[in-house]
Structure 1
Amino acid sequence: MRLLKQSFEKDRSGSVTLVPQDKEDLWQCYNLIQKNDEIKLSTHRNIKKASGGGLTGGKEKGKQERKVLTLRVSVEDIEYLPSEDVMRIRGKTTEPNEFVPLQSYHTAEIELQKSFTLYKEDWDEVSFEIISKACSIEEKAEVGAIVLEDGVAHLCLVTDNMTVLRNKIEKSIPRKRRGEGGGGSHDKALTKFYEMVSTTVFRNFDLEKLKAIIIASPGFAASSLLDTLNTMATRENNKIFFQNKSKFIVAHSSTGYLQGLEEVLKDPSIQKSLSNTKFAREASAFEEFQKVLNEDDGRAWYGASEAEKALNMGAVRCLMLTDSLFRSDDISIRKHYIKLTEDAKGQGVEVLVFSSLHESGEQLNQLTGIAVLLKYPIVDLDELEEE
């Protein structure tokens, strides 16, 4: 997503002008746009031609002409299917237009590569976070990738729809001479090269945020780099690396250039590994929740009332919500869940927002869309009265 312009007032009202660039951006727009927001965009409208040859938006008889107009619409309904490249907005016009009467119903489409301006009376923290993530490749990317061969490495950030090269490392590696031992100039240069790449990985990749990191190469370069990462992390006591070591996936590619990464990303086995890894934390938390719930020992609860009571008691270890709760047409409900997540984070609670498009998110939606794992058992939480 590209952010073209933004303007905010002290009362938190304001507008942003955005350009969705891929389907993932449309999904973010779907989460961002709410009922009663206003949108200004270029759209098509059938305009009736008056008998005199002029144009009219009224009921006079005449042929229709399809015309491109810029309209500002108050949102009443949103239609979006993840399989489509557009999102439809329906509502009433809120600005006078030469061809369209004020308060006329109109259906417009938010399309890829076309800008629109979104106006909100109250920009809350969730809305700001959606824009921040959608417009920042660092926030948006869930996969890191290093594709390399002897003497050259490419560090990339990968989203569902694009790959962005972040760093390129090059080092001259002398050829291995006949009879040269393990300490020769070739091996020394190669060791130095792997250390340079490892340092760049530690400096530029947020291992805690990324859901997976692919290392791909011809031959054994990928495995050698992972060994070097491990050695340097041990030497520097890099706990973050060891906490996230399971995210690294070693793969084979025919080249150490970007074509090699494209080849790896098309591999069905890698796609499956990425899918499992990207949603691993959410899936793992929900699996734990189901297991604890079945044990019925008072450490797992679902439902808004139960979750809030447990948070008020300071007993929550992990709060799980689906993104559908933040898309409620009722602004008060949306604000309620925003405050709930902010309070939870303030207590140091792990907050996981599940995608409704993923299996674990669908399952959580069937259980009211909100659940908690507790630090200690609380029996009959659903029957406790508020003090």
Structure 2
Amino acid sequence: MKLVKQSFEKDSSGYTTLVPQDKEDLWQLYNLIQKQDDVKIQTFRNVSKKSGLSAVGGKDKGKQERKMVTLRLNVEDVEYNPSDESMRIRGKTTEPNEYVPIQSYHTGEVQLTKPITVYKHQWDQINYNIVIQSCSIEAKAEVGAIVFEEGIAHLCLITDNMTVLKTKIEKSIPKKRRGDNSNYEKGLNKFYDLIITTMLRNFDLDKLKVVILTSPGFMASSLLAQINAYAQKNDDKDLFRNKFKFVVAHSSTGYLQGLQEALQDPHLQKKLSDTKFTKQVQVFEEFEKNLNEDNDKAWYGRKECEQAIELGAVKYLMITDSLFRNDDISVRKFYIDLTEQVKHSSGEVLIFSSLHDSGKQLDALTGIAVLLSYPVPDLDEEEEE
């Protein structure tokens, strides 16, 4: 998502203008836009050449032409279809327009690369986070990649729908000589060290879930060995903590097309398939295990979760994004307040996507659940009575 303009502060009114660039951005907009918001959107309309009135509902039935018009709509309904990557917004116009009468109903389709302005009476923490995270490639990317060959390396960040080149490294390496490869080995090791230090400057290893190392031959494996040696030599705790995230792959070239080649490998695809939701899946599995054991550490339901949060006993709060799209502003604010309470008591909040299997399972369990740091019995006692 590209941020064009922003004029709001958290917990106050204002607007932001965004340009969606991929299907992931449409999903973020779907979570951002709610009923009673206003949106300014560009859309095509058939208009009468003679009068300028909209051909739909207009009085003039003369010749028509298709024009791009900008409408400001008060949102009444938002439709998002992930399968065909389309999103439509329906509402009444709130500003006069040369071609469209005010207070008339229209549906506009959100188009990739076209700006959309969202007006809200109150920008809460969830909305604020959506804008910040969707406009930051570092926040969206969960996979890093280093594709390289002798003397050249490309460091990239990968989101669901795009690959962004962060930096490129070029370094001359002495050629191999018959009987004496010492200069070649020194040059190659310096090249590896340069890749590692550049990676540490450009990648946030704690946020990334996988870092792909891909090259022709066995260079990727050699780089991984060099990364482990570098971590040990420099007592680099970040590298030690994240060394399990590095995955070796093979490509026929060290240029960017080599990364696409590596990503088509079924073995690598399997490793990456659940990358985005790894933490949620692991925590939900732990939640189910505790729920089956009936050890009073796993609870679901609004009342039970609220009581556990008031006690400060929550290790993980699991909540689906569908609860934040509730039409009732007071309900939405209730769940936002719960997430803030958990963060203030040192718990962790995990927002599950309702499009993912784990999110669907959580939705079936009221959409909210907690995994506690210690057992708390009888949270549902009042309901049973």
**TM-score over 0.5 (shorter chain):** yes
Instruction: Give, in angstroms, the shift of residue 346 of structure 1.
Output: 1.6
- SS across alignment from 1:5: strand
Moved more, 103-112 or 57-66: 57-66
2:221 equivalent among 216, 220, 223: 223
- SS across alignment from 1:199: helix
Matched residue, 1:337: 335
Kindly indicate whether the alpha-carbon contact (under 8 Å) linking 1:87 and 1:110 is maintained by their aligned counterparts in 2.
yes
Matched residue, 1:80: 80
Matched residue, 1:211: 209
Pair 313,48 (structure 1): closer, same or farther in 2 beyond 3 Å? same
2:252 equivalent among 233, 251, 254: 254
- SS across alignment from 1:200: helix
Q: Which amino acid aligns with 1:35?
A: K
Instruction: Give, in angstroms, the shift of residue 348 of structure 1.
Output: 1.4
Instruction: Give, in angstroms, the shift of residue 61 of structure 1.
Output: 6.0
- SS across alignment from 1:187: helix
Kindly indicate whether the alpha-carbon contact (under 8 Å) linking 2:142 and 2:275 is maintained by their aligned counterparts in 1.
no
Instruction: Give, in angstroms, the shift of residue 31 of structure 1.
Output: 0.7
Cα distance in 2 for partners of 1:318, 1:17 equals 34
Matched residue, 2:266: 268
Residue identity over aligned pairs, in percent, reads 62
Instruction: Give, in angstroms, the shift of residue 35 of structure 1.
Output: 0.7
Matched residue, 1:98: 98
Moved more, 365-374 or 169-178: 169-178
Matched residue, 2:189: 191
Cα distance in 2 for partners of 1:81, 1:139 equals 24
Cα distance in 2 for partners of 1:67, 1:256 equals 47
Q: Give yes or no for the alignment of 1:167 onto 2:153.
A: no
Q: Which amino acid aligns with 2:61?
A: G
Q: For each residue in 1:102-141, what CA deviation from the matched residue of structure 2 results, as whole angstroms up to 9, or x when unmatched?
A: 2111111111111111111111121121111111111111
Matched residue, 1:308: 306
What 5-or-longer segments of structure 2 have no aligned partner?
A: none
Kindly indicate whether the alpha-carbon contact (under 8 Å) linking 1:212 and 1:278 is maintained by their aligned counterparts in 2.
no
Kindly indicate whether the alpha-carbon contact (under 8 Å) linking 2:34 and 2:325 is maintained by their aligned counterparts in 1.
yes
TM-score (ref. length: structure 2): 0.93
- SS across alignment from 1:381: coil
Matched residue, 2:275: 277
TM-score (ref. length: structure 1): 0.93
1:54 equivalent among 23, 32, 51: 51
Q: For each residue in 1:233-277, what CA deviation from the matched residue of structure 2 results, as whole angstroms up to 9, or x when unmatched?
A: 223333332332222211001011111001111222222211133
Q: Which amino acid aligns with 1:151?
A: G
Instruction: Give, in angstroms, the shift of residue 30 of structure 1.
Output: 0.5
What 5-or-longer segments of structure 1 have no aligned partner?
A: none
Matched residue, 2:285: 287
Aligned length: 380
Pair 384,225 (structure 1): closer, same or farther in 2 beyond 3 Å? farther
Instruction: Give, in angstroms, the shift of residue 47 of structure 1.
Output: 4.1
- SS across alignment from 1:111: coil
Cα distance in 2 for partners of 1:319, 1:242 equals 28
Q: For each residue in 1:55-86, what CA deviation from the matched residue of structure 2 results, as whole angstroms up to 9, or x when unmatched?
A: 44566363473443221100000011012233
Kindly indicate whether the alpha-carbon contact (under 8 Å) linking 1:216 and 1:252 is maintained by their aligned counterparts in 2.
yes
Instruction: Give, in angstroms, the shift of residue 200 of structure 1.
Output: 1.5
Matched residue, 1:158: 158
Cα distance in 1 for partners of 2:17, 2:110 equals 12
- SS across alignment from 2:354: coil
Instruction: Give, in angstroms, the shift of residue 290 of structure 1.
Output: 0.7
Kindly indicate whether the alpha-carbon contact (under 8 Å) linking 1:216 and 1:261 is maintained by their aligned counterparts in 2.
yes
